Amino acid sequence: MTMSKTLTRLFIAAQKKRLEDDQKKTQKQIIELQKDDPFADPDHASDNAAVDTDVREQVGHDTIEAQIKDMDKRIKNINLALQKIAKNRYGRCEKCGGSIPVERLQFIPEALYCIDCEKKLHK
């Protein structure tokens, strides 16, 4: 399948649906992770568990917190991408204003930066 360099309305509509689906799925994952957090147990603070249990619970909590933080960032980026669709700015780099390649948007629909700007941000 060949892609044109410009984003078609059909492509953007498909990306919007995909972004909305990803947003819902990620929000559900966050809720499930929050339920699995050992610190969510109301008895956690009052139990006198062994030190190794406390350590395991702390590690579990820290892991879940890190996963939720990553998912929150993804939801933020999805929301920004949806706003860009609404403003007819989808596929434009937030930094340089250039086009984000279609192939990149297919792989990462919430991409905010072109590849060059993304690389510069992570140096």
Q: What is the pLDDT of residues 31-49, one digit of tens each?
A: 999 998 887 766 655 555 5
- Give me the pLDDT at residue 96, please: 96
Chain centre distance of CA 94: 17
Give the type of residue at 41: D
- Count of domains for the chain: 1
DSSP class of 44 = T
Higher-pLDDT residue of 40, 97: 97
Is residue 14 in some structural domain? Answer: yes
71-87, pLDDT tens digit by residue?
Answer: 999 999 999 999 999 99
Is residue 73 in some structural domain? Answer: yes
Is residue 60 in some structural domain? Answer: yes
Rg (CA), the chain: 20
pTM value is: 0.80
Is residue 107 in some structural domain? Answer: no
Q: How many CB atoms lie within 10 A of CB 55?
A: 11
Sign of the alpha-carbon dihedral angle for 59, 62, 68, 70: negative
Is residue 39 in some structural domain? Answer: yes
Q: 17 is in which domain, residue-wise?
A: 9-90
Is residue 98 in some structural domain? Answer: no
Chain centre distance of CA 57: 25
- Give me the pLDDT at residue 3, please: 41
